[in-house]
Amino acid sequence: MQYDFNEIIARKGTASFKHDLTDKFFQQGDILPMWVADMDFRTPDFILEALQERIQHPVLGYSFHPESQYQSIISWLQRRFQWNVGKEWIGFSPGVVPALNLAVLEFTRPGDKVLIQTPVYFPFYSAVKDHGREMVLNPLTLSDGRYQMDLENFISQIDERTTMLILCSPHNPTGNVWRKDELESLMQICLEKNILVISDEIHADIVYPPHQHIPTASLSPEISANTLTFMSASKTFNIAGLSTSFFIASSEELFKRMEGAIGRLHLSQGNIFGNVAMEAAYTYGALWLDELIAYLAGNVRFAKEFINNCMPGVSLIEPEATFLLWLDFRASGFSDKEVRKLLVEEARVGLSNGILFGPDGEGFQRINIGCPRSVLEKGLAGMSKIFTI
């Protein structure tokens, strides 16, 4: 490996949400933070160097998205997903979550129903509820260790007020990479029922072979015309603090409306550093990402073996993507409340409570394994003292 993912980097004292706010969120300052979805790895040098080069220039005035930034995105999507997108399909936003909220505001009306498939990344709930829209839950079903979409239930929930689906692909927190047939069936329903698809693909890059991410909009021109895709280099390259993301819409109408929603708030310029970092990531990041995925796959294997051998009451949902693992504690012999208390007070780890991701997350916890293996080992060792038979 050319890159070192074993390096321990002290993040405390850097105003890190994950490391510096454990007091506030867990009432404990000295627990191992394995919750917020950023990684403890060094942001790759080719990004830091590009930022350093930019800061050599002494003026940080207004900037725009240069042609080279567009081309870096187009080339990345082509190389990683064989997805050809036009420059005129690309717009920018200061994060995927702000874009989700703006899409709900722009494309639905108060009282409209928005479908989400649970358990799911919790800001999906607020993006719907905070704007007076009605949330409709289509719970994923866990069968043979893999979450599946329940399309019959999905269809049965649709009425004339249902106007939008927010899809998480790959799916946080279950780690699903949606397969072609799953996506096609879902999209077919959305086309037939006139449901606009918001496809949050922020986790598209970190996928474990042999799984392959398929951008929803790449399935067909018809599906593309009914889809807004949200992506970012933030998770992949550990630059979430730069608040920079982009969207893709091949439909001119969808593009104009989304661009308008972002532009009216003067949010599409982004910030200089986010733009520079994104371009460097997509220009130079392929090898680093391949090595990251290989390292994370090693972390997944390590966690799986450890949990299977030392924590018989706990099971791991095999991830197909993401550095987030979904752990099932329902057979641990402890209630959800007890598990939460034990993890913090005895195991001394800070995970994300499953219940945050929806009612069907009860009994589950999400652990972030985007860290050096020695840190993962420490976290799991703490947990194994409690969750044994």
List residues near ligand PLP by CB under 6 A: 37, 95-97, 121, 168, 172, 200, 202, 232, 234, 240, 245
Rounded to an integer, what distance in angstroms lies between the CA atom of residue 7 and that of residue 371? 9
C-beta of 215: minimal distance to ligand PLP in Å? 15
| DSSP secondary structure code for residue 304 in this structure | H
User: Do the bridges between strand 113-116 and strand 162-168 make them parallel or antiparallel, or are there none, so unpaired?
Assistant: parallel
C-beta of 105: minimal distance to ligand PLP in Å? 16
- Complex with ligand PLP: residue 118 or 234, whichever CB lies closer: 234
Reduced to 3 states (helix: H, G, I; strand: E, B; else coil), residue 361 is helix
- Complex with ligand PLP: residue 176 or 245, whichever CB lies closer: 245
- Complex with ligand PLP: residue 44 or 270, whichever CB lies closer: 270
C-beta of 97: minimal distance to ligand PLP in Å? 3
C-beta of 122: minimal distance to ligand PLP in Å? 9
Reduced to 3 states (helix: H, G, I; strand: E, B; else coil), residue 245 is strand
- Complex with ligand PLP: residue 149 or 311, whichever CB lies closer: 149
Per DSSP, the residues of 145-205 read TEEE--HHHHHHT--TTEEEEEEESSPTTT-----HHHHHHHHHHHHHTT-EEEEE-TTTT
Contact 383, 329 (CB under 8 A): no
Residue with tokens 């598209």, as numbered in its chain: 204
Q: How many CA atoms lie within 13 A of 281 on its CB side?
A: 25
C-beta of 244: minimal distance to ligand PLP in Å? 8
- Complex with ligand PLP: residue 135 or 191, whichever CB lies closer: 135
Contact 347, 311 (CB under 8 A): no
Angle between helices 272-284 and 45-55 (to 10 degrees): 140
C-beta of 338: minimal distance to ligand PLP in Å? 27
Tokens (6 digits) for 67: 């042609």
- 3-class DSSP string for 40-91: CCCCCHHHHHHHHHHHCCCCCCCCCCCHHHHHHHHHHHHHHHCCCCCHHHEE
C-beta of 169: minimal distance to ligand PLP in Å? 9
- Complex with ligand PLP: residue 270 or 372, whichever CB lies closer: 270
- Nearest to ligand PLP by Cβ — which residue? 95
- Complex with ligand PLP: residue 206 or 342, whichever CB lies closer: 206
- Complex with ligand PLP: residue 200 or 259, whichever CB lies closer: 200
Cis, peptide link before residue 173, omega less than 30° from 0 = yes
- Edge to edge, the sheet with strand 162-168 lists 90-93, 245-248, 227-231, 196-200, 162-168, 113-116, 134-137
Type of residue at 255? F
C-beta of 387: minimal distance to ligand PLP in Å? 25
C-beta of 120: minimal distance to ligand PLP in Å? 8
- Complex with ligand PLP: residue 168 or 386, whichever CB lies closer: 168
C-beta of 346: minimal distance to ligand PLP in Å? 27
- Complex with ligand PLP: residue 261 or 311, whichever CB lies closer: 261
C-alpha dist (Å) from residue 21 to 17, 36, 203, 251, 255: 5, 10, 24, 41, 37
Question: Nearest-CA neighbor of 348 among 27, 39, 10, 18?
Answer: 27
